[in-house]
A and B are shown apart, each in its own frame.
Chain A
Amino acid sequence: KAGVTQTPRYLIKTRGQQVTLSCSPISGHRSVSWYQQTPGQGLQFLFEYFSETQRNKGNFPGRFSGRQFSNSRSEMNVSTLELGDSALYLCASGPDREFEKLFFGSGTQLSVL
């Protein structure tokens, strides 16, 4: 069974630009969540989607948005990039039930110059 696939693996952008990251969950998983990891703040929850519906959202500005498609693939978008958005963005997929294990992708390393 293929794992969680995130693309691209690395991204370099400049301030003010926007970026879109992609996540393909494990086959059969309908829950996709996103996390931001930085050396200073650690891992922080961005949002979670299940069957195209956002069920929870973390405490991030509106520049961070996401969506989920009918095939469970998900994208997150960051507009008007700031230097502080440089981070490893991790996607996790899970089955229907909240009590189950989450599986993480390798992440997208975003650098904002």
Chain B
Amino acid sequence: KQEVTQIPAALSVPEGENLVLNCSFTDSAIYNLQWFRQDPGKGLTSLLLIQSSQREQTSGRLNASLDKSSGRSTLYIAASQPGDSATYLCAVGDDYKLSFGAGTTVTVRA
């Protein structure tokens, strides 16, 4: 059974600082890894998708890396802004389903 762990559980940084969010998973037989953002009481917004054959993906201030052999992914958010405050979820895809981590709740202080 796939287990996905996200560290840290919560993070508070001043505006402008770079964010580093970590995700690890136990079974490396995955199709892809997806990072999501969730605002309180809302659904999930997809941020980045990395296929199992890829090493990283970038979108604007976001960059995500994937090391399948070691079961790790890292999401970097450059020059954080208060609007980046949210919970970030990592999800591993295989067998037509996603296995989610518990998330990292980020607070960016103005």
Contact = CB atoms under 8 A, between A and B. Distances in A.
Among B32, B41, B98, the most chain A Cβ lie within 10 Å of the Cβ of B98
Contact of A31 (B31, B95, B96): B96
Main secondary structure of the interface of B (DSSP, over half): strand
Given A99-B32, A99-B51, A90 B43 contact: yes
B34 A102 contact: yes
B46 A102 contact: yes
A99 B31 contact: yes
B97 A103 contact: no
B57 to A, nearest CB: 11
Contacts, number: 59
B93 interface: yes
Interface string A16-60: 000000000000000101010000001111001010000110100
A101 interface: yes
Nearest to B46: A101
Contacts of A48: 96-97
Interface of B: 31-32, 34, 36, 41-46, 49, 51, 89, 91, 93, 95-103
18 contacts: A43-B89, A43-B100, A45-B98, A45-B99, A50-B96, A56-B97, A58-B97, A98-B93, A98-B96, A99-B93, A100-B49, A101-B46, A102-B93, A103-B46, A104-B43, A104-B44, A105-B43, A107-B42
